[in-house]
Amino acid sequence: DVKVTQSSRYLVKRTGEKVFLECVQDMDHENMFWYRQDPGLGLRLIYFSYDVKMKEKGDIPEGYSVSREKKERFSLILESASTNQTSMYLCASWDSYNSPLHFGNGTRLTVT
Amino acid sequence: GQQLNQSPQSMFIQEGEDVSMNCTSSSIFNTWLWYKQDPGEGPVLLIALYKAGELTSNGRLTAQFGITRKDSFLNISASIPSDVGIYFCAGLYGGSQGNLIFGKGTKLSVKP
């Protein structure tokens, strides 16, 4: 079974802090994604990566950056956290078009 | 942009009843995925569909890829209390890894 592991289940950070959300997958998948999930808005794509050191903006990249130095690891960075970035963050990985997207358990981030 | 309309938004059913939910769009999709999300957890894949007309079962769950490629439905037979959660559809269109969009979810509550 594919395993996507997010390093933290819950995080509480202060406004202005730099925040790192880490995600690791164990199936050698090429593609990795970061989404945020908010009530009433569903899942929104922040960034995705289709290879090491490659990244593409999703629908809501503002205020975020990403890093993919190794194939198995995709990090989401909030350079200066703001309260409107309080949300559930979901990482996912994907092999190819004929295989499904697999999610991690999520990180619930609260910015105070 | 592309949109998925998932309905119903929420439903209350009696234990033992059958449940049906669907996703529709004006766009054509290559893949349909159905997920379930429990509170505080990441979405878990239930069923993946890759061909128009495909009908796939997973235990009490059955999903179909619409012939027009613009819709998909998920049925749950003989619902039980642990079926409670939010069910999401996701559709993949086009040739880019970022072209996966999600429905807003159907919240299922079961009366024991």
Q: Which of B44, B97, B103 sits opposite A31 (nearest CB)?
A: B97
How much is the CA Rg of chain A, to the nearest whole Å? 13
The predicted model gives A14-26 an average pLDDT of 97
The predicted model gives A48-58 an average pLDDT of 93
The predicted model gives A70-84 an average pLDDT of 97
Structure confidence at residue B47 (pLDDT): 95
Three-state SS string over A18-81 comes to CEEEEEEECCCCCEEEEEEEECCCEEEEEEEECCCCCCEECCCCCCCEEEEEECCEEEEEECCC
Structure confidence at residue B96 (pLDDT): 59
Q: What is the length of chain A? A: 112
Q: Which region, left, alpha or beta, applies to residue A2 given φ > 0 means left and ψ of -120 to 50 means alpha?
A: beta
**β partners of residue A92:** A33, A103
Residues 35-74 of B with CB under 8 A from A: 35, 40-45, 48, 50
Whether the pLDDT of residue B78 is over 60: the answer is yes
Would you call B82 an interface residue with chain A, using a CB distance cutoff of 8 Å? no
Q: How many CB pairs under 8 A join A and B?
A: 52
DSSP A40: T
CB contact under 8 A, B43 and A103: yes
Omega cis (within 30) before B8: yes
C-alpha A108/C-alpha B100 separation (Å) is: 23
